[in-house]
Amino acid sequence: MKNLITVLTFLLISTVTFSQNGYCFSTSNRGDFEEVHVDDFDRVKTKTEQTNIFSFSFTDKMLVHLILRDDEVTCQYYQIVEVNEIQDNSYFINCLSGLSGSSYFYYLTVIDGEYEFYQISDTNDDDEMSGTRFTGFGEITLNTFEQEQE
């Protein structure tokens, strides 16, 4: 019975975690922050104009990140290692870079079409984090490789 409960719990968590195919969006501004408490994330200012396009495909377990600069465009793929849905349409995403082998952590919330998006690079013992806040969102249609069956 205990094993059955464990399996059912795992299936429920997996279904909840991947109930959304993913998200694709562009951002036009970014701002780095250091040692900011989670409750103060919305106060982080974005200072740098830079176009980024993020395509998170939860079903394919891939992130594609494009950085568009005046003199170059960089595109990198990441493997999505884990997606945790914290609340409805609010995700903590762990990605692995094949280039550097580093892990990257993202916090994404989409409520009523309004995006909040952060890359978290470091945390400390006081629940403070460092990273980058992205703003200036434009939604892009996402077509995943492995389409969900209805």
Per domain, the residue ranges of the chain are 20-139
Indicate the pairing of strand 114-123 with strand 62-68: unpaired
Mean pLDDT, the chain, rounded, equals 82
CA 65/CA 53 separation, integer angstroms: 6
| pLDDT for residue 24 | 94
- pLDDT band at 26; cut points 50, 70, 90: very high
Residue 106, Cβ neighbours under 10 Å: how many? 23
pLDDT at 39 over 70: no
CA dihedral 92, 50, 73, 113 (to 10 degrees): 50
CA nearest to 25, candidates 62, 52, 45: 52
| pLDDT for residue 3 | 39
Alpha helical stretches, state H, 1-150: 2-17
**CATH architecture of structural domain 20-139:** Beta Barrel (2.40)
Indicate the helix (H) or strand (E) that contains 106. strand 103-111
Total-model pTM: 0.78
| pLDDT higher at 32 or 1 | 32
| pLDDT higher at 36 or 89 | 89
pLDDT at 68 over 80: yes
| Percent of the chain clearing pLDDT 70 (strictly above) | 82
pLDDT at 57 over 70: yes
| pLDDT for residue 145 | 85
CA 132/CA 41 separation, integer angstroms: 10
| pLDDT for residue 149 | 53
**Residues 77-131: tens digit of each pLDDT:** 999 999 999 988 899 999 999 989 999 999 999 988 899 999 998 777 777 888 8
* For residues 141-148, average pLDDT: 81
